Amino acid sequence: MKVMEPINVVVTGAAGQIAYSLLYHISSGSIFGPEQPVNLKLLDIPPMMKVLDGVIMELEDLALPLIREIVPTTDPVVAFNDVAAAFLVGSMPRKEGMERKDLLAANVEIFKVQGEALNKYARKDVKVLVVGNPANTNALICAHYATSIPKENFSAMTRLDQNRAKAALAIRLGVQVDKVKNVIIWGNHSSTQYPDATHATVDFGESTKSVPSVINDNDWLDTTFVETIQKRGAAVIAARKMSSAMSAAKAAADHMRDWWVGTKPGEWVSMGVVSDGSYGIAKNLVFSFPVTIKDKQYKIVQGLPMSEFAQYKLKITARELEDEYKEANNILQN
């Protein structure tokens, strides 16, 4: 049997909470395959390197055969050199009293540096997943500075929202979560996102039915369900006093695995990708669409019928992204 060469995988914010859970998914083979060895490039800021030492001890203690090399670093040049996959988890979190433009300004600098490093040192077929918020606009900034890498190789994570939506519908329907398929997250990974169950299906074994027909409560689907998913991150923070970490790491793993190995026939997933104008969304915004994936290339699902309510929801979240994009552009030009 041919022994596979290891691939280089970078995780930024590697000493943080999300990375703590994510690194196991990467190293265990659940993302890139059970026979694919990995070299881990772990990037963080100097004050976090002592914590990162402890994370590396735990990675060693996992005794996982797919880990070939672990490289902790504060240098983007080292971190992004020859990487095949990048999980950009580290970002400036929003702090009390901070305006959105302040958050964007801090993140523009972070993702400019990382985009430039990807441009110079990463493989040109690298798959870049932005997890750190504001994820959609951070992905756009990163892609802007990585001019030699196709824009299609950058995406923002809305898979956590999709997983939340699937779980909420499964609970309502009284089924296992894997029986619910084709829930969509449209737009921004923010409270303006539109979780859409209109095209979702539920498998009852002997038959597959549309989720709206089984739930039979459009008021719940259009209000309670939408608002619950939009506010779920805030609800986790209120209960846990910290943001989602375990579920965010699982979502990042799900997102990259599907990008790497493809989606199942008849199923689609939600990814923040550079808009091509589909569904009337302005080109070049990083907007969450339903996509299918084959041979590591995604395609936006076309031709889905959209109600007036859905179109209205898409306009709201697109407007927020346009405002973020303008603000980021202003920062870039100053």
Instruction: Report the pLDDT value the prediction gives residue 333, as an integer from 0 to 100.
Output: 75
In this structure, are residues 303 and 293 in contact, taking their beta carbons and an 8 Å threshold?
no
C-alpha 26/C-alpha 253 separation (Å) is: 7
**Token pair listed for 168:** 């909420």
Distances (CA, A) of 229 to 169, 178, 252: 11, 18, 17
Sort strands 194-196 and 184-186 into parallel, antiparallel or unpaired: antiparallel
**Token pair listed for 182:** 């084709």
Phi then psi dihedrals of residue 86, to 5 deg: -130, 125
- Residue 72 is inside which H or E element, if any? strand 67-73
**Token pair listed for 13:** 């914010």
Instruction: Report the pLDDT value the prediction gives residue 153, as an integer from 0 to 100.
Output: 98
CATH topology of domain 158-325: L-2-Hydroxyisocaproate Dehydrogenase; Chain A, domain 2 (3.90.110)
Which positions are annotated as active-site residues? 189
In this structure, are residues 91 and 142 in contact, taking their beta carbons and an 8 Å threshold?
no
Instruction: Report the pLDDT value the prediction gives residue 52, as an integer from 0 to 100.
Output: 98
Instruction: Report the pLDDT value the prediction gives residue 172, as an integer from 0 to 100.
Output: 98
pTM higher than 0.85, yes or no? yes
In this structure, are residues 156 and 259 in contact, taking their beta carbons and an 8 Å threshold?
no
- HSE, CB side, 13 Å, CA atoms: give it for residue 5: 4
Kindly report whether the peptide bond that precedes residue 72 is cis, defined as omega within 30 degrees of 0.
no
Residue ranges of the alpha helices (H) in the chain?
A: 17-28, 49-61, 76-80, 100-121, 135-145, 159-173, 211-215, 218-219, 226-230, 232-240, 246-261, 308-333
Instruction: Report the pLDDT value the prediction gives residue 97, as an integer from 0 to 100.
Output: 63
Residue type at position 98: M
- Residue 272 is inside which H or E element, if any? strand 269-274
Where in the chain are the domains?
7-156, 158-325
Give the residue ranges of the annotated binding site for substrate.
94, 100, 133, 164
CATH superfamily name and code, 7-156:
NAD(P)-binding Rossmann-like Domain (3.40.50.720)
Sort strands 127-130 and 83-88 into parallel, antiparallel or unpaired: parallel
**Token pair listed for 155:** 């995406």
The residues pairing with 43 across neighbouring beta strands, listed in sequence order, are 12, 73
Give the residue ranges of the annotated binding site for NAD(+).
44, 107, 131-133
Instruction: Report the pLDDT value the prediction gives residue 96, as an integer from 0 to 100.
Output: 60
Listed as ranges, residues in the chain with pLDDT below 70 are 1-2, 94-100, 334
